[in-house]
Amino acid sequence: TTTNKYRCTEYILNEFFVDMTCEGCSGAVTRVLNKLGGVQFEIDLPNKKVFIESDKDTDVLLETLKKTGKAANYIGPK
């Protein structure tokens, strides 16, 4: 019997709306997501969207985004 010592993790790209109006807002999003760790993300400031690639639950990601004090909603998988 062989055992695979590597865990296969599937990362899902999720799209969120965050009510960001300026660079300061996107900076706050960057800070909370970097603090959370284990995520790759892209911020689309003009369209107020954040795309997050992670194996974390969407509820965890949404709660993290709400820590910025901005209104945030989960749009869906991208």
Q: How confident is the model over 14-57, as pLDDT tens digits?
A: 999 999 999 999 999 999 999 999 999 999 999 999 999 999 99
∠ CA(70), CA(72), CA(78), 5° rounding? 140
pTM for the structure as a whole: 0.86
Q: Are 4 and 66 in contact (CB under 8 A)?
A: no
Tell me the two tokens of residue 33. Answer: 């997501």
What is the per-residue pLDDT for 44? 98
Strands 72-77 and 49-54: unpaired
